[in-house]
Structure formats: C-alpha cells, structure tokens
Chains A and B, each alone.
Chain A
Amino acid sequence: MTLLVILEHDRGDLAEASREAMTAGRSLAEQMGDDLHAVLIGEGADHLTDEAAELGAQTVHVVTHDILTDYGPDAWAESVRQLADEIDAAAVLAVGTDRGNEVMAQLAARTDLPFVANCVSVDASDDEGWSMTRLQWGGSLLEDSTIEAERKLVSIGHHAVVASDALAPGAGTVEEFEPELDGSHAVTIIKDRAVLSQGVTLSTAPVVVSGGRGVGSADGFGILEELADLLSGRVGCSRAVTNNGWRPHADQVGQTGTRIAPEIYIATGISGAIQHWVGAMASKRILAINTDPEANMVAKADYAVIGDLHKIVPAVTAEIKRRKGST
C-alpha cells in the first residue's frame, strides 16, 4: 500500500507548500507503515524528481499528457485519480493551498469519497479509520474528526507543519504515468495569465498606512500619503475619519469599510475600535503609533511606538529617503 502526495509546482519551480506536503507525508507513511509516493504533473515537472526523492519519496510519478500544459483542476484531479487506482493508494495527501484543496475536492467528487481539508494533525495508525484535527474558522477553532473510507483524502493546512528535510532521501524511483484524458478535462486548464496593471488597491496593498482621529484633520493625512507612496502602499483610515469627512469611505478600514491583509499595517492615531480591528486583523504585522499606551491598537499590535504621529511619521519618511539616497 502507498501514500500518494501531490506536489505543487509552478511550471517547474517546486512550491514551498510541497516541502510541507512531503514533511507531513513522511510522518504519515511511517504511521501507516506504507511507502511514500509523490506525484508531479505537467510541464517542467520532470526536473523535480530529484528534489522529491531528497524529500523522502520512494517513488516519484511523473504524469504527462498532451493537454497537461498548465494547471487545470479537472485534468490534475483526473490524473491523480487514475494514478491512485493504478498504484492502489491507501491515501492521497496535498497541502491546503488554493490548488491543493481544489484538486483534492475534485478527486473526492470523482470518487465520492470524503475529503478532510486543512488538517493540522492526523492519526493514521488505524487502517480502518483515521482521526484528525483540522482547522475551522480560518484557524480560530479546531475540529476533531474521523473518516472511514477505502481511500483517505486529506489536505494539510498550509503552514500547519514546518517543512523539513528527510533524515534520509527516498529511493526516488521515477515512474512515468500517462493518464487517459480527453477534451472535457481540458476545459478548466489555465488559458492565460495576467499581471496586475492597475495600482495597488487598499485590500491588496502590501503596506497600508492608516490614520485615525489622532491625525486631526484632512490635511494631516499629507504625511501619511508621503510615507505610503514611498512604500508603494495605500492610505487607509478609521471610521471616525470618514465620519469627520477627512477621507472618502473607500479608504475606510473596518467592519463596514475594507478588510485588508497587508504585509504590514501602520496604524497611526487609531485607538482600535473593534469595528476597525475586524477590518485590520488579517494584517500580517501591525505597527501602532499612538500617544496612548493603553490604546487597544497598541495592545493588539506586534510593534508599537508611543508618541506623536505628527513627529514620528515624517521622521520615518526622512529615514527612508536617507537610506534610499545612500544606496
């Protein structure tokens, strides 16, 4: 019996998520006492077999077919389904990325088997039924679950395991597999790619520099604009600001405004009402600049500076300019 791990790659570059998949796969295969197989699909995948072996694959299946030029959920899932049948896989595993979950869902639909998405731990010691813990509510809650199925379909939550190298590489036997696919499977293959042409939006900006009541006036946002421009970011604001008419509603971050998820959220003069927090909480990092050390925003931030934004923001701008000038 085997455990089959779906590896993701973007036209020849192995995704970080695939290293997580193999890390989880090794531990699962050990529990199951089964062989660890990996599957690579589509153009450029054949370059990755060594890497898959390094990550512990006993066997690496390279799936090729004329229509497998680029990613497509139907084509990928149908290929995996046929391969899993061929090698009589006891379980198929992916990482819960957009693609990983999509392919697993397609696979589950095709086989009418249960699929458990975004697990953080799996107990596979019992062949009959597995038990696992998975993410609900985007990770705010955990769900303990069991499945019984002749083939277990599971994805591991992205970033739920820390990717690591195998103690010893797997044999890495490469096996070619050509599935039977037809035009119907090609319907959902990527037709084209587009690069963002318009400027960043508030919801997609990597940096959001936001101001609250503490900015004091519409004009006060000038210093935030300048900093945001330097960082290729956007300016946001709190509800108090739009209520005062200092910024348009489109700039409002919050429950009733825009929800953002930048790399860093620089919140200046914002107390951090829940209404606002709900819109900002998905930010990867938060830097609060506030005169009040007890402000909610300060308590919830990763980083904070206690002081007057009207002095601190221009100082940051000046420091960035100085460093840019010196390089």
Chain B
Amino acid sequence: MSDFPSSAKVVVIGAGIVGNCVVGHLAELGWTDMVLIEKGPLPNPGGSTGHASNFIFPVDHNKEMALLGEQSANQYRDLDLSVDSGGIEVARTEERMNELARRMTSAKAWGIEAHMLTPAEVKELVPFVNEDIIKGGFYCPTVSVVDSLETGTVMRKKALDKNALEVFANTEVLDLETEDGDVAVNGRRRITAVVTDKGRIEAEHVVIACGVWSNRIANMADTYIPLVPTVHQMADVGPIDVLAETNNEIGYPIVRDMDTFCYERQSSGSMEVGSYGHRAILHHPDEIPSNEEAALSPTEMPFTPDDFDEQMEQAIELMDMLGDAEIKYAINGLLSLTPDGMPCLGEMPDVENLWSAAAVWVKEGPGMGQVVAEWMTYGYPRVIDAHGADIARFYDEEKSDEHIWSRADESFIKTYGIVHPSEQWGGQRNLTTSPYFSRQQSLAAEFFQARSWERPQWYNANNDLVERYGLSEREVEWDNRWWSPITHGEHLNLRENCGVVDLSAFQVYSLTGPGAVEFAERLAVNKVGKAIGTSTYTPWLTADGGFHSDLTMMRMGEEEIRVVTGVFDGGRDEFWVRKHMPTDGSVAFQNVTMGITTLGLWGPKAAAVLGQLTSHDLSQEGSPYGSIREIDVAGIPCHIFRISYVGDSGWEIYTAWENGPKLWDALFEAGESHGIRPTGGGVYGSSGRVEKGYRLMGAELESEYNPLEAGLARPKVKAADFIGKEAYLAAREAGDPIAKMCTFTVEDNTDSQGRKRYMQGGNEPILTTAGERIVDSHGRGSRVTTASPGPSVGKHLLMGYVPTELAVIGTELSVMYMNELFPIKVGAVEGAVFDSDDRRLKA
C-alpha cells in the first residue's frame, strides 16, 4: 500500500458505482494524479451500490434519464458485465394499459425495441405469472441485469492501469477545506483540501460521489446537495425450483407489477421482490449506521415487515409460487431521492471545483459518471445535455431538509406511478409568490409551480370566456388533466382584446462596472453593447457551441447590463455568470429578482390601455420594438420594454416590487372597457408562444443543438469573442444545419376509438407517415419538444427538430401519441404558423 498523498489534482470521494465510473471516465479523458477515497472496504463499501437490484429498464419518459440509462446499459454491455434478461411491465388496470401505451410511445422516441403483450403472451415468457389478473404487458427485450460492483472495480482498475489513480479504502473524510478566493466578487469559495483520518490532501478538484451520504459531505464545505436517503424495501424469497432449474443468475424476464409498485426479479434460485409501494420511509444521513454498527451494511437497514405485507399479498396474487418460498433476506435498502426526481450533477454553484455526482442510481451510473467527467473536462457534458440534472438548478428554497423530505414523501410512490407531464406537487407550495398573489387568489387562479415560484396557469374567474368562445373540455380525461379550456379562452381574448401576464418569476440580474459590457459580450452570441435603452435576445453557448441558455440582455446604462431569464433556468444562469465573470473587480453582479416585478401587457388593445396611464409616445417611434424606456405609468416609475413572447403587440413593464399591486390595479382599471383579462402561463408559455414558434430553453433549446439548427443564427457573427464562438463559427462553416426547428400542425386528432386526442409535449416521437423513426445524421431522433393548442389557428401544434430535408412547409409526417399515429404537417420552419409576417407585433 502506498503512502497517503499530500496533494492531488482530483480527489473523488466515494467508491460506489458513481465514484468508480467518474475516475474511470476521467482517466480515459486523460486526467492523472487522482485519488479515490472510500470510507468503507472494497469492493463493496456498504453504500447503495452493494444492495442494488441491478436491472435497467431503458424506457423512461424523461429524455435525460432514458438516454443516460441506455448509455449506461451499453457501457455495462461493453464491459461484458450485463445480461439482457428482458423485462415486462404488467398492467392490472385500464389506466395502466394507457400508461403502457405511453411507454410504447417513449420507447419509439428513443429507438428502444418494445412490444405490447397479451396476458397469454406474458405467460409464455414468464410461465409462473397468473395471467388472469393482468390486462397485458409492455415487453422490452433489452432490459438488462448488470454487475454494478464488478463494473465499479473494472472502472477503477482502468484508472489504476493508466497510473492515473491511487485508491484508499477504509478512509473516512473528516472535513472539506475551502478558501474565500474571489468570494467577494463572484460569491464563490474554492475547494482546497480534503481532510481524512489518514491525512490531509490538497486538491484542485474534489468530487462528491457519496450516494446517500453526499449531503453530509457537502455540508463539510458549508454547501448543500439536496437529497434524502429513502427506503426501498426488498425481500429475497426462495429456493424456488423453477428458478433454480435455469442454472442462471437470471433466466426469466424481470416482471414489474406496476399497479402494485412492485417488481419480481430472479436472482439465481430465488426471487427478489422489491417494492416502491410502501409508505415513504426517509432517513437523515446521520441516522445511517457505520459499517461497524450495521447488522448488514449501512444502507441495508432493518426490514420493517409491516410495511411490506400488502406487497407480499399482491406478489403472491401475481406469482402463487412465491407464497411458499422462504423469505431468506429482507432489507430496507437505502437509495437517494431529490426534490424533483433528477440527479445532482455538476459543479457546486457556491464552491469552485467542488463537484457533485450524487443521487444517481445503478441504472444510470456509468452514463452519469461520464457526464461529470466530461463536465470537468470540457466545461459542459457532451454525451447529453444534462441541464435537468444540473446541481445549479436549485433555488435556496429547495435546499432545506424540510423541502426535500416533503418532496420525497410525495414522490416515492411515483417511482412506479403514472405521472402526468404537467403534474403539480401537493406540498411545499407558495414558497415564492409574486406581489399579486392575493389578487390572483381572489381571481381563483390555478397555480403551477415553477421550481419554487407560483405562477397562475389560468384564472378560473375567466370561466365566462369558455362560453363566449364556445369552448369545451377535452374528451379524454388524461388530455384534460392539468388543463382547462379557460386557457384557450384567455388566449382568444388576448388576441381579440388584451391580457395581463404576471412575469414576476423572471430572474433579473444586474451587471455593473467598467467591465460589464465587455463581460456581457463574452457571454452572449449576439451583440449586447449597443445604445442605452436597447435589448438583445441572445443565446449563451457552451464551449462546444450548444445552447446553455437563451435570454434577454438589456443595455440599461453606460456601465450597466440587465439580464432577464426564465425561472426554470435562473439557478443555472446565475451560476454561469458567477463562474465566468472577471475577478478583477471590473464587474459587479447583483441578483435583483426580488426587487423588481414584471407584468406583461399584450393584445390589440394593449396600447389603448397603457396610453391611459402615461403621456409617453407608445407608437413604434416612441417605443420601438426591443426598446426599454423609463417612464411613469399611473404615476409609478417603470421601465417599459416593447417585446412579445405571445405574438401580439405590447410591453413587459418592470417596476419596483412594492409598486406592483398599484400597477396591477391601474392596468385593470384602465383596461376594463378594453376587455382586459388576467392571463395565465397556459397562454404565455404555451399557446401564444407556440403559435409564434418561439423556442424555450430546456424544450427546444439544449446543448445538443446549435443556433443554426434552432433558427436563431444571425446573418453575421459579431467581432467580439464569446464563449462557444469557435465551435459556432465551425458549425456555420460546415454549411446548412443538418436539422431544423419546425412547428407542426396536427391534421387529424382522432384516435382509433374515434376520440379526439391532444399530445402533451412529452417527447412524443415525430415519425414518417409509415411510422418509421426519423433520426438525423448526428443520431438525434425527432420528437415533440413542446405541444400546445393553437386556438387562433384552430389546430393542435407541435414543435420539434427534423432533418433539414424534411423541414419544408407542407411535408407530411406523423406523430405517435399513446401508441397511435396521428397525421401532422410541417406548418412553419424556424417561423410561426400564426401571423407569420409579424404584422400584429408591428401594430
């Protein structure tokens, strides 16, 4: 054993599947001088990897999880530590059969082979299933069973064989040291050293891959990884002859009994019955025993049989043979849950070079390890856009034990649940509300939560619009869930009269100082340093030239730039600014979100309404498109920003938070005779936007696509340098984009049962009319990035990328929804299906 080192380039803490894969991938990317520290023994340190059920169902509705699951499955396959057992999700209810149809749709989107089975066909594959209690199954032949412990060992050895790594097991981390560095400028401390019971290591980078203990380690650096150790119960029952006779670790497909939140997975002569159906059982990391204190391993907590009894009865219903098998081993196994169900990857926003690789399960371990290694190497992952897993996404309100526990308590049952794409949380609501919250409540607003912010999706007080415009509920409950025809009515009213949208959740930053404009140029693709009072809508790119963000930058003064971005990406965007800002003091950063509130006023009557409250010239001359003007509105000092994300002329009106309610009241009073209505996010974020083909970060815009493909490339590239410029120029020189963002019209919404159906924008695959997948030359499959009604065009609308040769208006294609094909046409390429020449905006 070598002496304990005093310094290293990288210290990775934790030798579970994640830590091992991080060091393996880092070594492949050329990193050396790494140290892997593990509190427990090897190869099984006692974390969640050691008791994982080790199977991968590659189909997931979420793109990151599906593609990283697939990526991980392939890495296990490449190491020859994986067996394709196949797997079947069985349905006991009609509702679940619909969900399985949705699974088929997602399988198609990701190009994963899958089949619907009749009960008899399920029984053919798994003869001990009671086919009488099931309605059918979803069969995926590439479901695999992997050896995660051995994979960890092999990945570690890869790094060891390159002499890139030293490994220290049975070594406990006692502290993480940070220095203040440039904290006064960018709010970020810097990691400096890891203190262990074997000695102190100075480190340039430190990676926390400590599974359920990750937050405890993060706390040592005075920072926070929001995850909670959560129990998943499993019991090994056997011996069972029919299983033993296979002479195999796994000889039958894994069965997921979805409606009972249970799975049955053969393990040699036994059956492992695992449950996600019990009450949520959460633990604080400090409650997890050490290796010495634990009866089994730290993460194999004492089994609480009362929680499992119902699952047993249900398991016996499905497989009678289980009833007479002995329960040989049963645990409350720990795994990690986060507030939003996604992992926590990337650099800690407040501690430079401290990385989180946490809340990752075995099924996505190797892929997530690669993501983190690439992130450290290239500044952003290449294998996939991991924005949904970015640790920087969390707001402070999401980083409390109370919040995580509540979310985990609510989400545990959703592990095998049927989760609607728009499903809202029950608990931990009203964490951040706008100045208009009480007014919106009295208008019976239906609030949707955007991270911590509450935003009205529609106002039930507008119910009269349903009658006015002759609207109706949707035919199928699933399509109608978390939706209302009122939003349709608000849309039509805005197009006819005008509407007010609460935009207080906008994240607003101020960059000031002599270097502010220069720094702004460095972030943005488009030129920011224009005249005072102008704005720039611009992408921010990763170094590889993909989208990191899209947002608005405003020249507010000689040395002042205002950045306005959406609430979903606020955390990531603020981090991006802090990470890249100069530390010489030439730029000061301030998050002014909570000081500034914004109301959007749009529609043909918007100017008439605003005109009553100001003497300012509101014409295109006095208030040109894209301009910011400081004026009084109803005697309140405001900035009016002529812009539109909904396709009708109008303004975003910015004012001090405390003036908000007065401004709201003034607008509604002035608008009363102009048909003004409070208008929700259903119009702003969906129908208004999609009719105009406006892209949204995280939906249409991802790091895997560049501005040429998104249709956001300007004719010329500015002279100033900016992040991603080299890659952007290379893409421009490479010629036409290979894929283009299009808007599609659904030509017939009728399904095989004669019902009108409405796609949700949950990654439904865009296919040829024959139902074949469409994949561009970079391997990216075409899929729906956003779906929305287009009330003003009378059609359901979809957005998505297709290869350039198909991106021609009128091209006939199809979309799969609930495992059925619906005909669609390209309605717009990089443009709008509604008011395509923007006459309404110029009005």
- Please tell me whether chains A and B touch each other in their complex, using a CB distance cut-off of 8 A: yes
Q: Type the 1/0 row for A282-317, where 1 means its CB is closer than 8 Å to any CB of B.
A: 000000000011111001000000000000000000
Answer whether residue A210 sits at the interface, using C-beta atoms and an 8 A cutoff: no
Q: Contacts A243-B267, A245-B247, A245-B248 hold; do A274 and B169 have CB atoms under 8 A apart? A: no
The count of chain A contact residues (Cβ–Cβ below 8 Å) is 20
Q: Which residues of B contact A245 (CB under 8 A)?
A: 244, 247-249, 268-269
Q: A243-B249, A294-B41 are in contact. Are A273 and B239 (CB under 8 A)?
A: no
A294 to B37, CA, bound (A): 12
Chain B, interface size category, equals 20 to 34
Most A CB within 10 A of own CB, among B42, B150, B294: B42
Q: Which residue of B lies closest to A292 (CB)?
A: B42
- Give Cα A325–Cα B754 distance, bound, in whole angstroms: 89
Bound-state Cα–Cα, A293 to B40, Å:
13
Among A97-118, those with CB < 8 Å from B are none
> Is there an interface contact between B44 and A273, defined as CB atoms closer than 8 Å?
yes
Contact B249 A294 (CB under 8 A): no
Residue ID in chain A nearest B246 by CB atoms: A245
* Bound-state Cα–Cα, A255 to B268, Å: 18
Q: Choose among B41, B168, B270, B329 the residue that contacts A272 (Cβ–Cβ < 8 A).
A: B41
- Distance from A249 Cβ to chain B, minimum over Cβ atoms (Å): 7
Bound-state Cα–Cα, A292 to B167, Å: 11
Q: When the two chains form their complex, are residues A296 and B41 in contact, meaning their CB atoms are under 8 A apart?
A: yes
A299 and B41 within 8 A (CB): yes
Q: How many A-B contacts if CB must be within 8 Å? A: 62
The proximity string for A residues 259-281 relative to B, scoring 1 for CB distances below 8 Å and 0 otherwise, is 00000000000011111001000
Distance between B554 CB and nearest chain A CB, rounded to angstroms: 57
CA distance in complex: A295, B46 (Å): 12
CA distance A18 to B329 in the complex (A): 43
Q: Which residue of A lies closest to B167 (CB)?
A: A294
- Which B564-611 residues sit within 8 Å CB-CB of chain A? none
A1 to chain B, nearest CB (A): 46
Q: Is B42 a contact partner of A295 (Cβ separation < 8 A)?
A: yes
* Chain A residue contacts of B40, Cβ below 8 A: 296
Residue of A with least CB distance to B292: A274
Confirm or deny: A244 has a beta carbon within 8 angstroms of a beta carbon on chain B: yes
User: Could you tell me the distance in whole angstroms from the C-beta of A152 to the nearest C-beta in chain B?
Assistant: 36
Residues of A within 8 A of B169 (CB): 294, 299
Smallest beta-carbon distance B353→chain A, Å: 27
Kindly state whether residue A242 has any CB partner on chain B within 8 Å.
yes
Kindly provide the distance from the CB of A300 to the nearest chain B CB, expressed in whole angstroms: 8
CB contacts (< 8 Å) of B269 on chain A: these are 242, 245, 249
| B residues less than 8 Å from A293 (CB atoms) | 1
Partner of B249, one of A244, A271, A278, A296: A244
Closest to A293 in B: B1
**A273/B297 contact (C-beta < 8 A), A245-B247, A294-B167, A296-B41 known:** yes
* Contact A294–B42 (Cβ < 8 Å): yes
B184 at the interface (CB under 8 A from A): no
User: Does A256 have its Cβ within 8 Å of any Cβ on chain B?
Assistant: yes
In the complex, A296 Cα to B149 Cα: how many Å? 14
B839 within 8 Å of A by Cβ? no
Interface string of B702-737 (1 = CB under 8 A from A): 000000000000000000000000000000000000
Taking CB as reference atom, which chain B residue is nearest A271? B43
Contacts of B247 in A (CB 8 A): 245
> 9 tightest CB-CB pairs across the interface, nearest first?
A296-B41, A294-B169, A243-B268, A294-B42, A274-B297, A256-B329, A256-B328, A274-B296, A271-B43
Beyond the given A244-B249, A245-B269, A271-B44, please list 6 additional residue pairs across the A-B interface where CB-CB is below 8 A: A242-B269, A245-B268, A273-B50, A294-B42, A294-B169, A296-B41
- Chain B residues with CB under 8 Å of chain A are 1, 40-44, 46, 50, 150, 167-170, 239, 244, 247-249, 267-270, 291, 294-297, 300, 328-329
25 residue pairs of the A-B complex, CB under 8 angstroms, read A242-B269, A244-B249, A245-B244, A245-B247, A249-B239, A255-B296, A255-B329, A256-B328, A256-B329, A271-B41, A271-B44, A273-B50, A274-B291, A274-B294, A274-B297, A274-B300, A275-B296, A275-B297, A278-B295, A294-B167, A294-B168, A294-B169, A294-B170, A295-B41, A295-B42
